[in-house]
Structure 1
């Protein structure tokens, strides 16, 4: 059996996680063009340093690179992370009805879309340190251990930030409903 080339291994181990990388980049940058640039830069770094990848979870490794690339770019630019919310970027259905909702009435579809918009706006309004942990856990469904590796913090801090982030999110959603 032939040994796969580094390029084949990269395609096999890293490329399946491109959507997760883009999702995290969207939540970090808060706009699609910057997220695309961030993922492109992160993928170049991942490919360049793939020889140093010693196995393990390719998804965690790639998301760590995306996050580090984001923060490195912010420091280099002297920029602060953007605070505007791009509704189209964070729309769950991209503006179209989700397949499981096609038989609902237009009123029900509108209510679901409005709910999604409110939740995503509240999530986008969270401070970055909480938002990234909530996104990695609740949207990307990563374990505490994986998040700790990506964010480079202890597991206890992950749990603390997640709890505080969820509490802030609930408060924001409660304020929206009031």
Structure 2
């Protein structure tokens, strides 16, 4: 039987990279979404996701599960809390001088988005006011559509704790949204 010397088997690194790309990269949007809600700003969320992806790649050989999304979201959550412990509080950071560095807005005018923005903005502010443990379970359940079991795996909590936090988060969010001043609710004039 003739041997074809031109056929070179793929290297283990290329197989690993292809597997990582196939399993983990499709979960990147969910990872960013969770990081954004935990960090509360785009720049920090990007840093968290970047660090989480490096950790995921570094420890990809330890992934033996079926759900890469849950595995990656757990890494994002842990990365966020690890980075929080290493960074100073917001009041110790230097703020951006907006006069020296003006921001250019290329999006639609504020007038065009006002009606939609009031409702979305109100919901976002209400979510922002929730304590982090309640906010994270709400984001994972309602925005990322994770099951209770997946949330328990991501947060390393018991399912009962997840259910309890989710119930409290929904109640607090409901309270935040229904106890607004009448002027705010009258955006449809």
Structure 2 unpaired stretches of 5+: 1-9, 91-106, 183-189
Deviation per CA, 1:81-140: give whole Å up to 9, x if none.
Answer: xxxxxxxxxxxxxx66xxxxxxxxx6xx63332111101110111000000000000000
Name the counterpart of 1:89: none
Which of these residues, 158, 164, 177, is aligned with residue 160 of structure 1?
164
State the alpha-carbon separation in 2 of the partners of residues 134 and 22 from structure 1: 15
State the alpha-carbon separation in 1 of the partners of residues 47 and 170 from structure 2: 29
1:39-54 → structure 2 map (5 Å cutoff): 39-54=49-64
Q: Report whether the alignment pairs 1:35 with 2:39.
A: no
Name the counterpart of 1:99: none
Give secondary structure in 2 for the equivalent of 1:176.
Answer: coil
Q: Report whether the alignment pairs 1:149 with 2:153.
A: yes
When the two chains are superposed, the root-mean-square deviation of aligned CA atoms in Å is 2.2
Larger radius of gyration: 2
**Does the 8 A contact of 1:118 with 1:176 survive in 2?**
no
Normalization by structure 2: what TM-score?
A: 0.75
**Does the 8 A contact of 1:64 with 1:151 survive in 2?**
yes
Q: Report whether the alignment pairs 1:135 with 2:145.
A: no
1:10-159 → structure 2 map (5 Å cutoff): 10-77=20-87, 79=89, 110-159=114-163
Aligned-pair CA distance for 1:77? 3.3
Matched residue pairs, number?
A: 154
Give secondary structure in 2 for the equivalent of 1:142.
Answer: coil
Structure 1 unpaired stretches of 5+: 81-94, 97-105
Deviation per CA, 1:154-176: give whole Å up to 9, x if none.
Answer: 00000000000000000000112
State the alpha-carbon separation in 2 of the partners of residues 78 and 158 from structure 1: 29
Give secondary structure in 2 for the equivalent of 1:7.
Answer: helix
